[in-house]
Amino acid sequence: MKDNSTGKRKNEKLWGGRFADSSSPITEEISASIQFDSRMYRQDIKGSIAHAEMLNKMGILNDEELKKIVNGLDEIREEIEKGKFLFSRSLEDIHMNIESRLTEKIGETGKKLHTARSRNDQVALDMRLYLRDEISLIKELLKSLIVLLVKLAEKNIDAVMPGYTHLQVAQPVRFSHHMLAYAWKFIRDMKRLDHAAEACSLLPLGAGALAGVNYPADREFVKKRLDFREINLNSMDAVSDRDFILDFLYFASVLGMHLSRFCEEIVLWSSAEFGFISLAHNVTTGSSIMPQKRNPDIAELVRGKTGRLYGNLFSLLTVMKGLPMTYNRDLQEDKEPLFDSIDTVILSLEGMNEMLKGMKINKDRMKKAIYRNFSTATDIADYLAQKGVPFRDSHEIVGSIVRYCEEENVDFFNLKTETLKSFSLFFDNDIEDIIDPARSTERKISQGSTSTDSIKDQIFLIKSRLQI
């Protein structure tokens, strides 16, 4: 959209009546939000049309006037979309820019639109409508990410890799289980997103400036017309509430934290040392000095962007803190954090989706990593325990085998049964089955474990839950 925010249209301020002097330049500069709130123009127009229809129903606007207003607003939408609208900074925000243009276009009738309405309930409405629209888009992107994870899990169900605690090899897990661990986190994020959407669907319009309006505004009509679930029944709460934005910013922060953990692993796994995955060329970048480099920049940037998502949440929490009832101009500071978090979430999800689409899994490298690092030591301890050795003792025995391997620089998987027997007489030839990492995953028979069956159950559950 063309930004003409410093351009001036010949106008008087819509609130100019009681002022002897015009605003000083700094007052205009500090008051203006048009440079960032112009993006809500569609929602502002939609809300105004619903409001005008309600005024018509109440007999405040006749049919002719309503028609003029609706046509005028439709034309303004077009002007904005074609880049022909001249935004004026002295008109402060999107609400007054549109209203002033309407009057310029259709004359006196335009001035009736603001009957039974204040910018305080208007902006509270627009923000909800705007966020609601963006939430639908974000939900689709989040869903695509989960679908990609499920596909990766289905396709690579045979891949076994080291599972880590403390970033030290712990036990073998299936790569699919690892992917689904993230899928479940993102499913919870989706719930948080739904919660934010729900918070958006409480209608503030009709609250007026703070106390209600001197007209029997048909709020039920506006609620239905704009597809809200409920009416906010306290006008003071309606104009002072920004919880719905905080809910979204919290969702965005937690999502950012999850994405950043995932990205951290992508960065690690794509390194030469791990080599568990390779990223496609079109999602990596080169170095200006080191010709050999191929860097996982998307993963790093998504990880880095989490900082601004947290920042935006804290920024608005701090703006809100200590604000007396009801509307205070501080509330205008709700927009940039929200818009930035929306943009950041969309960009990050698009980046993640693109990166995962072309990601290759190097099963051999994963396998080597499990064979190198005693990943089935716990299985061996359980093996002895099942033969009657108390678990604490079997833990001790296996620990000393590991120490022996390290000291003698021998591979655990190549130890002869005879050598093992010198640690415990309970060792037998069936130990081969126990130390096999893939079979180790299958012995995890508890619900929610890393076995193939459990993974298949999870995939089924996620698919039915998301209807994919």
Cβ-based nearer residue to ligand ARG, 40 or 435: 40
Q: CA of 238: how far to CAs of 92, 121, 225, 321, 380, in Å?
A: 22, 7, 18, 17, 63
Map residues 138-157 to x or -, x wherever contact with ligand ARG holds by CB under 6 A. --------------------
Q: CA of 333: how far to CAs of 121, 230, 319, 339, in Å?
A: 16, 26, 7, 11
> Is residue 36 near ligand ARG by the rule CB under 6 A?
no
Active site residue 253: no
Minimal distance, residue 339 CB to ligand ARG, in Å: 12
Taking CB under 6 A as the criterion, the residue among 28, 53, 93, 436 binding ligand ARG is: 93
Comparing CA positions, the residue from 466, 453, 415 lying closest to residue 189 is 466
> Is residue 119 near ligand ARG by the rule CB under 6 A?
yes
CB 176 within 8 A of CB 157: yes
CB 200 within 8 A of CB 132: yes
Minimal distance, residue 32 CB to ligand ARG, in Å: 9
CB 193 within 8 A of CB 162: no
Taking CB under 6 A as the criterion, the residue among 33, 100, 103, 109 binding ligand ARG is: 33
Active site residue 38: no
User: For residues 133 and 235, what is the distance between their CA atoms, to the nearest angstrom?
Assistant: 24
Cβ atoms < 10 Å from Cβ of 114: 19
Q: Got the DSSP string for 310-339?
A: HHHHHHHHHHHTTPPSS--GGGGGGHHHHH
Separation of CA 256 from chain center: 6
254-293 residues in contact with ligand ARG (CB under 6 A) are none
Taking CB under 6 A as the criterion, the residue among 332, 348, 375, 451 binding ligand ARG is: 332
Segment interacting with ligand ARG, rule: CB under 6 A, options 218-226, 324-332, 404-412, 413-421? 324-332
Taking CB under 6 A as the criterion, the residue among 106, 123, 180, 380 binding ligand ARG is: 123
> Is residue 331 near ligand ARG by the rule CB under 6 A?
yes
User: For residues 466 and 188, what is the distance between their CA atoms, to the nearest angstrom?
Assistant: 12
Minimal distance, residue 204 CB to ligand ARG, in Å: 12
**DSSP character at residue 232:** -
Pick the catalytic residue: 24, 166, 288, 446? 166
Taking CB under 6 A as the criterion, the residue among 120, 156, 315, 348 binding ligand ARG is: 120
The strand pair at 230-231 and 277-278 is best described as unpaired
Cβ-based nearer residue to ligand ARG, 117 or 223: 117
User: For residues 96 and 113, what is the distance between their CA atoms, to the nearest angstrom?
Assistant: 11
Cβ-based nearer residue to ligand ARG, 116 or 146: 116
Q: Got the DSSP string for 424-440?
A: -TT--TTHHHHH-HHHH
322, two tokens: 């200590």
Cβ-based nearer residue to ligand ARG, 68 or 101: 101
Cβ-based nearer residue to ligand ARG, 199 or 331: 331
Pick the catalytic residue: 22, 136, 271, 287? 287
User: For residues 231 and 130, what is the distance between their CA atoms, to the nearest angstrom?
Assistant: 18
Cβ-based nearer residue to ligand ARG, 334 or 436: 334
248, two tokens: 């979204």
Minimal distance, residue 96 CB to ligand ARG, in Å: 8
> Is residue 344 near ligand ARG by the rule CB under 6 A?
no
Cβ-based nearer residue to ligand ARG, 94 or 255: 94
- How many residues line the site for ligand ARG (CB under 6 A)? 9
User: For residues 423 and 403, what is the distance between their CA atoms, to the nearest angstrom?
Assistant: 12
Segment interacting with ligand ARG, rule: CB under 6 A, options 55-63, 194-202, 275-283, 328-336? 328-336
| Residue 180, amino acid | L
Q: Provide the annotated active-site residues.
A: 166, 287
Interface with ligand ARG by CB under 6 A: which residues?
Answer: 33, 93, 119-120, 123, 327, 329, 331-332
